[in-house]
Amino acid sequence: MIPRRNLITIGAIVAAALALAAFWVYTSFELYEHEIEVGLKDEARENPYLALARFVEHYGASVRTFPVYTRPPRPRATLYFPAERVVLSARQNAELRAFAEAGGHLIVVTRTLWEEKDKTPDPLLDPLGAAQFENKPPPVHPSKPMECPAPKTENDEPWWKPDPRPVSLPDGSGTLMLHFDQRFRLEERGGAAVWRLADTFGAHALRYRVGHGSITVLTDDELLTNAEIGKHDHAALAAWLLAPRPGGMIWIIRDHDAPPLWAWLWKHAAPVVLAVLAFLAVWLWGATRRFGPIAPDTAAERRSLVEHITASGRFLWQHGASGALIAATVDALRQRIRARHPAWAGLPVTDLSAKLAALTGLPEPAITRALAADARSSGERFAQDIETLESLRRRL
Mean pLDDT of 255-259: 59
Do 316 and 184 lie in one domain? The reply is no
For 252-256, 258-262, 328-332, which range has the lowest pLDDT when averaged over its residues?
A: 258-262
pLDDT(149) > 70: no
Do 127 and 244 lie in one domain? The reply is yes
Q: Looking at per-residue confidence, does 49 or 163 come out higher?
A: 49
Mean pLDDT of 158-181: 80
pLDDT number for residue 146 = 46
pLDDT number for residue 218 = 92
**Per-residue pLDDT band at 159 (split at 50, 70, 90):** low
- Other CB atoms within 10 A of residue 305 CB: 7
pLDDT number for residue 40 = 59
Q: Does residue 55 sit within a domain? A: yes
Q: Does residue 16 sit within a domain? A: no
164 contact partners, CB below 8 Å, separation of at least 6: 177, 178, 179, 231, 232, 233
pLDDT number for residue 302 = 67
pLDDT(188) > 80: yes
pLDDT(256) > 60: no
Do 250 and 316 lie in one domain? The reply is no
Do 112 and 210 lie in one domain? The reply is yes
Do 122 and 208 lie in one domain? The reply is yes
Do 187 and 316 lie in one domain? The reply is no
pLDDT(4) > 70: no
Question: By percentage, how much of the chain surpasses pLDDT 90?
Answer: 8
Q: Looking at per-residue confidence, does 119 or 56 come out higher?
A: 56
Q: What is the pLDDT of residues 304-357, one digit of tens each?
A: 776 777 777 777 777 777 777 778 888 888 888 888 888 888 888 888 888 888
Q: Does residue 365 sit within a domain? A: yes
Q: What is the pLDDT of residues 90-121, one digit of tens each?
A: 888 898 999 999 999 999 998 888 777 777 78
For 33-37, 59-63, 132-136, 255-259, which range has the lowest pLDDT when averaged over its residues?
A: 255-259
Looking up residue 62, the CATH number of its domain turns out to be 3.40.50
Q: Looking at per-residue confidence, does 107 or 374 come out higher?
A: 107
Going 86 to 88 to 90 to 92, the CA torsion angle's sign is: negative
Mean pLDDT of 128-156: 62
Q: At 69, is the secondary structure helix, strand, or coil?
A: coil
Question: By percentage, how much of the chain surpasses pLDDT 70?
Answer: 83
Do 359 and 249 lie in one domain? The reply is no
Q: Does residue 63 sit within a domain? A: yes
Residue after which a domain boundary falls, among 211, 236, 265: 265
Do 125 and 257 lie in one domain? The reply is yes
Do 212 and 94 lie in one domain? The reply is yes
The C-alpha atoms of residue 8 and residue 6 are separated, in whole angstroms, by 5
Residues 223, 180: contact at Cβ < 8 Å?
Answer: yes
pLDDT number for residue 105 = 92
Residue after which a domain boundary falls, among 199, 234, 265: 265
**What is the three-state SS of 258-326?**
CCCHHHHHHHHCHHHHHHHHHHHHHHHHHHHCCCCCCCCCCCCCCCCHHHHHHHHHHHHHHCCCHHHHH
Name the domain count of the chain.
Answer: 2
pLDDT number for residue 339 = 84
Q: What is the pLDDT of residues 269-302, one digit of tens each?
A: 788 888 888 999 888 888 777 767 777 776 666 6
Q: Does residue 100 sit within a domain? A: yes
**Per-residue pLDDT band at 150 (split at 50, 70, 90):** very low
For 7-16, 172-181, 197-206, 307-316, which range has the lowest pLDDT when averaged over its residues?
A: 307-316
Do 242 and 107 lie in one domain? The reply is yes
Number of Cα atoms under 13 Å in the Cβ half of residue 92:
15
Do 238 and 103 lie in one domain? The reply is yes
Q: Does residue 11 sit within a domain? A: no
pLDDT(377) > 70: no
Q: Does residue 282 sit within a domain? A: no
Mean pLDDT score of the chain, rounded to an integer? 80
Q: Does residue 375 sit within a domain? A: yes
Range(s) of the domain holding residue 331: 305-395
Do 192 and 332 lie in one domain? The reply is no
Residue after which a domain boundary falls, among 244, 265, 286: 265
Residues 337, 329: contact at Cβ < 8 Å?
Answer: no
